[in-house]
Amino acid sequence: MTDVLTGVTIGSPAHGGHCVARVDGRVVFVRHTAPGEVVDVRLTEAGEGRKFWRGDAVAVHEASPDRVPSRWPEAGPGGVGGAELAHLTLPAQRRWKAEVVRDTLRRIGHVELEQPLEVHALGEDDARDGLATRTRIDLVVDDAGRAGMFRHRSHDVVALGEMPLAVPAITELDLFAPGRWQGVPAGTRLDVVAPSDGPAVVLADGRQLDLDHPGRAFRREERQARAGRPDRGRRPRGQEAPAQRVAVREQVSSAVGDLSYRVDATGFWQVHRDAPATLVAAVLDALRPEPGARVVDLYSGAGLFTLPLARAVGERGRVDAVEVNQRAVKDARRNLHADPQAVLHVSGVTATVIEGLGAKGSVDGIVLDPPRSGAGAPVMNALTELRPRRLVYVACDPAALARDLRTALDGGYELVALDAYDLFPHTHHVECVAVLEPR
């Protein structure tokens, strides 16, 4: 076996940011290429015992007309993950994503879309070439005190020189200067957050750093440890839950008014600067909640959808929000303090929890925004048994969406609308909003 396969003809895109090629009867998933290209492929995972191989396109002999110079070469072949489609035009990226969604729904869910699927751009993304969209980025400190990211499918830290996908408020922090993070232990994770209301912050393993002296807190801990006086306000390194809690403020404009959210800086919030408003609008348009209605928000987080839904149903209505993360629910309580029609449940989303929400037909609409793994058959079966007039499924993974749609369709629902949104330009990720109604 050679490390490089030469003259490989590339086939169709597949879920995960690669295209499918076949070499001597073997399937090879190739990144950094495009359908129809002829390329040389450097193998990154191979072996006679593997069902398929993986590789990167490292030389292009016949280029796609959609190919352009990469917007972020550091995320190219052999580099970090996070921009595997940066070598394609934005329209080509969206066609790629639409094809992957259609193919995934067909193969996994046996769902055939009757209408063409358009992946919608957000805000001014086209004018900005899909750059400067991300309000949150994750970095890792290397042995030389530089910020970087992990090499794709690796634990090797690659020091970066730039992050063109980040919003200007992050770029202005000068995160990638040589030695910028001296004194911060190698391997420390940096969470960089630029909220819509307030200054950008950097957190290291959960604590907010003084950007003028980023290593100061760590040096203080080392001195206290040597003196036998550990800082009780700090957590031992390696624990998951930080002792310090840093919150930021997010503002979202919507059809039901301007919405204000307090969220945990390291908690879940949509990364694209225009994503919260886009998804709130999509959910309200899809669910069409009326005053006095009863709706349910599953996997509700800090209340991104719960708050506008509560405003839409008004004081005579009710919104039941279910979220397992206690910190997110704590934020949601603050965000919804003026909306008593919102009832918050600290719980995982299970069939039993859904069955406890009411009798069959008692719920007008349900929104669910599950994690990448999806909701799963037991939850989807429980939802169809509850028989709401409308189900709105916000999906970040086409494969999970396909599986859950299949369950809902078998449970007596039909897919009446499907929209897709390009929340992560230059990556393979795509967000879908599916609308289901009883047959």
Range 262-284 average pLDDT: 97
Tell me the pLDDT tens digit for each residue of 154-208. 999 999 999 999 999 999 999 999 999 999 999 999 999 999 999 999 999 878 9
Could you tell me whether strands 365-368 and 294-298 are parallel, antiparallel, or unpaired per DSSP bridges?
parallel
Task: In whole angstroms, give the CA distance from residue 395 to residue 40.
Answer: 34
pLDDT value of position 237: 43
Q: d(Cα 91, Cα 95) in Å, to the nearest integer? A: 6
Burial category of 305 from C-beta neighbours within 10 Å (exposed 0-12, middle 13-18, buried 19 and up): buried
The model's confidence at residue 233, banded by pLDDT at 50, 70 and 90, is very low
Of 191, 226, 261, the residue that ends a domain is 226
Count of CB atoms within 10 A of residue 282's CB?
20
Rounded Cα gap, residues 279 and 290, in angstroms:
18
286 and 406, same domain (yes or no): yes
Helices (H), 86-138: 90-109
Is 76 among the domain residues?
no
Q: Which residues are annotated as a binding site for S-adenosyl-L-methionine?
A: 270, 299, 323, 369
What is the DSSP secondary structure assignment for residue 117, as one 8-state letter?
Answer: -
Phi, psi dihedrals of residue 352, rounded to the nearest 5°: -65, -45
Could you tell me how far CA 380 lies from the centroid of its own chain?
22
At which of 39, 67, 95 does a domain end? 67
For residue 374, tell me if it sits in a domain.
yes
For the ranges 112-126, 232-246, 394-408, the lowest mean pLDDT is seen at: 232-246
Q: Are residues 311 and 379 in the same domain?
A: yes
Cα distance between residue 46 and residue 2, in whole Å: 10
Whole-angstrom Cα distance, residue 213 to residue 190? 15
Q: Categorize the per-residue pLDDT at 228 as very low, low, confident or very high, splitting at 50, 70 and 90.
A: low
Instruction: Answer whether 357's CB lies under 8 Å from 386's CB.
Output: yes
Q: Please tell me whether residues 344 and 421 are part of one structural domain.
A: yes
Give residue 207's pLDDT: 87
The length of the chain, given as a count of residues: 439
H or E element: which one contains 281?
Answer: helix 275-287
Output the CA torsion sign for 287, 416, 272, 149. positive
pLDDT band at 240 (very low <50, low <70, confident <90, very high): very low
Same domain membership, residue 405 and residue 283? yes
Phi, psi of 224 (to 5 degrees): -65, -40
Same domain (yes/no): 188, 257: no
One domain, residues 216 and 254: no
Q: What is the CATH number of the domain that holds 18?
A: 2.40.50.140
Residue 105 has pLDDT above 80, yes or no: yes
Is 168 within the bounds of a domain?
A: yes
Residue type, 2: T
The pLDDT of residue 221? 67
User: In this structure, is residue 77 part of a structural domain?
Assistant: no
Phi, then psi, of 213 in degrees rounded to 5? -140, 70
- The DSSP annotation for 365-407 comes to EEEE---TT---HHHHHHHHHH--SEEEEEES-HHHHHHHHHH
Residue 288, pLDDT > 70, answer yes
For helices 90-109 and 398-410, give the axis angle rounded to 10 degrees. 40
Say if residue 344's pLDDT is above 70. Answer: yes
Domain harbouring 394, CATH code? 3.40.50.150
283 and 350 in a single domain? The answer is yes
Is residue 156 included in any domain, yes or no?
A: yes
If you ran DSSP here, which 8-state letter would residue 134 be given?
B
Catalytic residue among 396, 408, 434, 435: 396
Exposed, middle or buried: residue 322 (CB in 10 Å: 0-12, 13-18, 19+)? buried
Same domain as 259, residue 201: no
Question: In this structure, how many other beta carbons lie within 10 angstroms of the beta carbon of residue 223?
Answer: 11
Instruction: Specify if 80 maps to a domain.
Output: no
Which of 95, 31, 96 has its CA nearest to residue 58? 31
Q: What value does the mean pLDDT of the chain take?
A: 94
Asked which of 42, 67, 92 is the last residue of a domain, the reply is: 67
In a domain, 116, yes or no: no
Helix (H, G, I), strand (E, B) or coil at 106: helix
Same domain, yes or no: 269 and 191: no
Minimal CA–CA distance to 283: which of 389, 390, 408? 390
- One-character DSSP codes across 169-221: HHHTT-TTSTTTTTTSPTT-EEEEE--SBS--EEEETTEE--TTSTTHHHHHH
User: Is residue 286 in a domain?
Assistant: yes
**Residues 343 and 219 reside in one and the same domain:** no
Per-residue pLDDT, 235: 43
Rounded Cα distance between 43 and 52, Å, is 11
Handedness of CA 196, 201, 202, 207 (dihedral sign): negative
Structural domain span for residue 336? 247-438
* Mean pLDDT score, 83-112: 97
Residue 363 near residue 309 (C-beta atoms within 8 A): no
For the cut 50, the answer to whether the pLDDT of residue 242 exceeds it is no
**What domain count does the chain have?**
3
More confident residue, 243 or 147: 147
Q: Indicate the pTM of the whole model.
A: 0.93
Task: Answer whether residue 1 shows pLDDT above 60.
Answer: no
Predicted pLDDT at 147: 97
Closest CA to 203 of 216, 187, 214: 214
What is the pLDDT at residue 241?
Answer: 43
Q: Which of 37-51, 241-255, 321-335, 369-383 shows the lowest mean pLDDT across its residues?
A: 241-255
Is 396 tagged catalytic?
yes
Distance CA 100, CA 102 (A): 6
Q: Do 149 and 204 belong together in one domain? A: yes
Put the strands of the sheet holding 365-368 in their side by side order.
119-120, 413-421, 431-438, 390-395, 365-368, 294-298, 318-323, 342-346
Assess whether 284 and 214 both reside in one domain: no
Please list the helix, strand and coil fractions of the chain in percent, rounded to the nearest 5, in that order: 20, 30, 45
